[in-house]
Amino acid sequence: MDNLISTMYEQTRNGFYRNYRKGMIPAETIAGFYHTMSPYQAAVNALKMILEQETPVIIEGEHFHFTRTLAGKAIPPADAGRRVENLTPDWEILLRDGINGRLEVIRKKLETPDLEPESIEFLRASGEMLSAVCDFAGKYADAAERSGNTRAAGLLRKVPAMPPENMHEALQSIYFVFSMLHLTGCTLLGFGRMDQYLYPFYRQDIDSGTLTRQEAAELLEEFFIMLNRENDIYGMLQRGDDGESLMLGGCKSDGSDAINDLTLLLLEVSEKTAMINPKINLRVNSSTPENILQAALKLAKRGLGFPQYCNDEVVIPALVKFGYPLEAARDYTVAACWEFVVKDGRDIPNCASVNLALAADQAIRSALREKQSFRQLLENIRCAIRQQIPHPFPVLLPNPLFSAFSGKCLERGKDIHRGGGTHYHYGIHGCASSTAADSLAAVKKLVYDEKSIAPETLLAALENNFDGFAEVQMQLKNAPKTGNNDPLSNEMLNFIFTAFADAVDEVPPDGRGGRIRPGTGAAQNYVMMTRHPDHPYYLRATADGRKEGEFFSSSLSPAPGVRANGILSIFHTYGKLPYDRVCNGGPITLELSPAYFRNGDALARGTRIIRAFVLAGCQQLQMNVLDREKLIDARKNPDQHRDLVVRVWGWSGYFTELDKEFQDQIIGREAYGA
């Protein structure tokens, strides 16, 4: 088994499985379907066409089966509408019903009198897609039989058609349907709370003696490696930006502790596999056991850039305040990166991004020009943010296959994108918050309070990108900075997020109860908004002393070049944010020096950092190890650092596979705890 796993690891890393890809998904044909027929029919026809062209691949020895033979994404054309992305199917529905059970729900629902024509079309489309997936699994089983692999044939005859009866079958069912969803054009899919829905199978296998804990670990390891097989296809902006998040820990819907032996085992397996997928998330609270936190920290020590920690004590009340039912909120997971998702709905948690520093900059410049008061300056910000919020909301494209594994879509006879869900909210990232707050703090202190910089001088300095204004730039750089728990910068940071939440509240609902959830994440925008002048929210020099072309920080973090007092001050700074109003997620991004883990009891001490994060009332945390020397060397000698992983924004990637500008931003981050 160990030999199989190391071969699979090596072949995944060296791209061996790409040799199976003999053709390309015909993007034009898919676009043609969506341009000439109803979106339901288009989804059916596109999937059927792709599955006809896909060839089964059975690899001797492997326990999980599906390997792409067609390269390319199956994404529907953008002009047809917004596809399903950044969402996690309800995997427990698949495990409970199997595809046959879902087909049965459809059959019964179609017998309902007076169904609306669109419901009939949706249900039929969903049925056709589910049947196509079953038929395709049958083709895989035939191929397994032909190659004499009776074990694989038996497995593929059973799942995903029927409900699995052990952990191996459950994982194969999930892997197969996950792959099929990618073939319908879904992207950035998640695996949700695997330690919860997989636990009954694990428990039963262990109790019945059919699987040892070690064998379960090996199976999970193999499954984890499979999640890296096609990630060159699934990645969006960069390789690794492909979702595949997995949530562990936290509480159950009734509020009781959800941690079980699988929570620990999945952490252990992730450390052993040490690949970028799946991205581990851990829900924590004041009483999360020490052994779970230590197991989690081992992943950070290993340099994987995860887990990402979510503080249930902040997240759940915020989701409830936003309007989700308590039991559903307690069952939250994350989308691709950090966006909280609640089941039985179709939130678009990654709908758009606003540049908070741009809004602050516009307000600052106009106040300086018009000689307005600081109070007036602050009032201008809300309007400036409001202008960046997209309206109307995007048109949504049905996905009848995804809908079959989402809440009560089939039971309601409605697609996830056509009213099948119970909630339809929109997440918007709030980027560049530290640059925004630092700019406001500098202007308040130096222009308005101390009057040591004249308004026209600051305007000229900004216009000239500080060329000839070195003195002014130095004054601005020495002003209070976010991350130091300084009263003025804290006040500005809270103001900027409150203004964001206020601006969002002004947007009228979408008519289906959909509202906007503002968040604290930055996603790729720390590069796109600072280095790509064609970005609509590109921002030049800012009043915190930042020159044009210099980056923003990733999500919640002191601005690049700012070295904060330390980890505790950073937690105090971010623990004061109005998370009950900005609840879309977006983590504190904290880099630790590798020296931090050199000491023998570093893991035991490191758990105190996570506890301090919870105690400070922060919402979400990524804690990564940043070895700057190694990164610089990796740039020079990429071959020797092929497996070096870094946290990019809400995901981890292989450093040498990133574009240079993303590498640059990461190298420029501050590492704490040396």
Partner 1 sequence: MSCGMVFDISEAAIHDGPGLRTTVFLKGCPMRCRWCHSPEGQSPEQEMLLLPDNSQRLCGKLFDAENLARYLRECAALTPDGGITFSGGEVLMQSGFVLDLLSRLDGIHITVETSGAGKCQDLLDIAEKCQLIYFGLKIIDPADALHFTGMSPEVILENLFALDRCSQTRYILRIPLIPGAIATEKNFKALMELCFKLKRLHSIEFLRANKLAPAKYASCRRKFAPEFAACRTGEVPDFFAPPQPFSILF
Q: Work out the angle at residue 564's Cα, subtended by the Cα atoms of residues 563 and 570, and round it to the nearest 5 degrees.
A: 140
CB nearer to partner 1: give 72 or 617. 617
Of 622, 424, 384, give the one whose Cα is nearest residue 517: 424
**Which amino acid is it at 379?**
E
CB nearer to partner 1: give 226 or 623. 623
Residue pair 670/556 in contact by the 8 Å Cβ criterion: no
432: left (phi over 0), alpha (psi -120 to 50) or beta: left
Q: What is the dihedral of CA 622, 627, 632, 635, to 10 degrees?
A: -60
Phi/psi at 171 (5° precision): -70, -40
**Pairing of β 426-431 and β 516-518:** parallel
CB nearer to partner 1: give 460 or 615. 615
Q: How far is the CB of 281 from partner 1 (least distance, A)?
A: 22
Give the bridge partners for 310, in sequence order: 283, 620
CB nearer to partner 1: give 96 or 608. 608
Q: How far is the CB of 548 from partner 1 (least distance, A)?
A: 22
CA 219 to chain CA centroid, Å, is 25
Q: Work out the angle at residue 405's Cα, subtended by the Cα atoms of residues 404 and 410, and round it to the nearest 5 degrees.
A: 35
Q: Count of residues for the chain?
A: 674
CB nearer to partner 1: give 265 or 618. 618
Residue 98: how many other CB atoms lie within 10 Å: 22
CB nearer to partner 1: give 187 or 490. 490
CB nearer to partner 1: give 57 or 667. 667
Q: How far is the CB of 211 from partner 1 (least distance, A)?
A: 39
**Element (DSSP H or E) covering residue 160:** none
Q: How far is the CB of 609 from partner 1 (least distance, A)?
A: 6
Name the residues that contact partner 1, by CB under 8 A: 485, 565-569, 571-572, 596, 598-599, 601-602, 605, 608-609, 611-612, 615-616, 672-673
CB nearer to partner 1: give 545 or 673. 673
Instruction: Please give the Cα distance from 444 to 437 (Å, whole number).
Output: 10
Instruction: Please give the Cα distance from 213 to 262 (Å, whole number).
Output: 10
Phi/psi at 646 (5° precision): -135, 160
Of 165, 91, 176, give the one whose Cα is nearest residue 137: 176
For tokens 């979702």, the residue is 243
User: What end-to-end distance do the CA atoms of the chain give, in Å?
Assistant: 39
CB nearer to partner 1: give 391 or 608. 608
Cis before 307? omega within 30: yes
Residue pair 332/312 in contact by the 8 Å Cβ criterion: no
Q: How far is the CB of 602 from partner 1 (least distance, A)?
A: 6
DSSP 252-271: -TTSSB---HHHHHHHHHHH
CB nearer to partner 1: give 427 or 673. 673
CB nearer to partner 1: give 108 or 598. 598
Q: How far is the CB of 612 from partner 1 (least distance, A)?
A: 4
243: left (phi over 0), alpha (psi -120 to 50) or beta: left
Residue 636: how many other CB atoms lie within 10 Å: 8
Q: How far is the CB of 250 from partner 1 (least distance, A)?
A: 22
CB nearer to partner 1: give 546 or 572. 572
CB nearer to partner 1: give 43 or 577. 577
CB nearer to partner 1: give 18 or 611. 611
Of 573, 578, 527, give the one whose Cα is nearest residue 553: 527
Under DSSP, the state recorded for 552 is P
**Element (DSSP H or E) covering residue 445:** none
Residue pair 392/510 in contact by the 8 Å Cβ criterion: yes
Q: How far is the CB of 606 from partner 1 (least distance, A)?
A: 8
Of 74, 83, 76, 82, give the one whose Cα is nearest residue 36: 76
Q: How far is the CB of 434 from partner 1 (least distance, A)?
A: 18
Of 404, 410, 408, give the one whose Cα is nearest residue 344: 408
Q: How far is the CB of 345 from partner 1 (least distance, A)?
A: 35
Q: How far is the CB of 623 from partner 1 (least distance, A)?
A: 11
Q: How far is the CB of 630 from partner 1 (least distance, A)?
A: 17
Q: How far is the CB of 230 from partner 1 (least distance, A)?
A: 40
Of 252, 340, 573, give the one whose Cα is nearest residue 437: 573
CB nearer to partner 1: give 134 or 615. 615
**Pairing of β 340-341 and β 652-654:** unpaired
Q: How far is the CB of 40 from partner 1 (least distance, A)?
A: 53
Residue 396: how many other CB atoms lie within 10 Å: 18
Q: How far is the CB of 573 from partner 1 (least distance, A)?
A: 11
